[in-house]
Amino acid sequence: MEKREKLYEGKAKIIYATDQPDKVIIYFKDDTTAFDGVKKEQIVGKGVINNAISSLIFEVLNKRSIPTHYIEKLSDREMLALKVEIIPVEVVVRNFAAGSFTRRYGVPEGTKLEKPLVETFWKNDELHDPLVCLEHIKLLKLAEPEDVEKMKEIALEVNEVLKAFFASKDILLVDFKLEFGKTTDGRLVLADEISPDSCRLWDAKTKKKLDKDVFRFDLGDLKEAYQELLNRLREK
């Protein structure tokens, strides 16, 4: 696999073309941002840990026949994936109240939700990723309604698979964000990354946070938390 030109650089990753038109290399950077890039730091080694965690999680999902862009981990900081056009709608699944749900609706952090809640946000940093419902998505032409329905269905399936996977490591899957894309041959697949940058994960017993909230709210050493998470995910 030959690495070619840079196609896109985001806040935490760089996408490179390859010698195959339907595949890309995703490079995980150490840049860590929060609040739409307002808080920003380089945390040396974070990209390596996030590539390892994301690859491990995508392998779990691929084994369960969930359609994803992931092909294989290539190196410490690189994964090979199907090239996709990202749909600008982020799907968030919540099992417990936290983050913007707590701020928006006043439900205390950690409250168990009666059933998983699926929310959709417009992926738009300038507008701070506003919450959108299907009517907004249709009106703003952000995605096809059938695709949104499928994305929500897949997100709930991912929730069931990952809830059980994390539970086996004594970790609570509080909430997470997914992004989807269309492959060059038009298939809808789960894309981007699934890492502690995009999930909230708490130790099931102590409720210790093992995710980006550690960085967002200066709760301790982010790299240590991510490394602990990776070690626990690797345990048999």
Query: Residue 34's binding partner, choosing from ligand ASP, ligand TMP, none, with beta-carbon cut-off 5 to 8 A by kind?
Result: ligand ASP
List Cβ neighbours of 188 (8 Å cut-off, separation of 6 or more): 67, 147, 150, 151, 154, 180, 181, 182
109: phi then psi, degrees, rounded to nearest 5: -55, 135
Is 97 an interacting residue with respect to ligand TMP (CB under 6 A)? no
Query: Residue 220's binding partner, choosing from ligand ASP, ligand TMP, none, with beta-carbon cut-off 5 to 8 A by kind?
Result: none
Query: Residue 216's binding partner, choosing from ligand TMP, ligand ASP, none, with beta-carbon cut-off 5 to 8 A by kind?
Result: ligand ASP
Q: How far is the CB of 122 from ligand TMP (least distance, A)?
A: 11
Q: Which two tokens stand for residue 207?
A: 């409720």
Is 116 an interacting residue with respect to ligand TMP (CB under 6 A)? no
Q: Which two tokens stand for residue 17?
A: 């073309």
Is 11 an interacting residue with respect to ligand ASP (CB under 6 A)? yes
Cα Dmax for the chain: 50
Query: Residue 13's binding partner, choosing from ligand ASP, ligand TMP, none, with beta-carbon cut-off 5 to 8 A by kind?
Result: none
Measured from the CB atom, is 50 or 227 closer to ligand TMP?
50
Is 36 an interacting residue with respect to ligand ASP (CB under 6 A)? yes
- The three-point CA angle 160-58-31 to 5° equals 115
Give the closest residue to 70 by CA, choosing from 51, 89, 88. Answer: 51
Q: Which residues bind ligand ASP (CB under 6 A)?
A: 11, 33-37, 212, 216
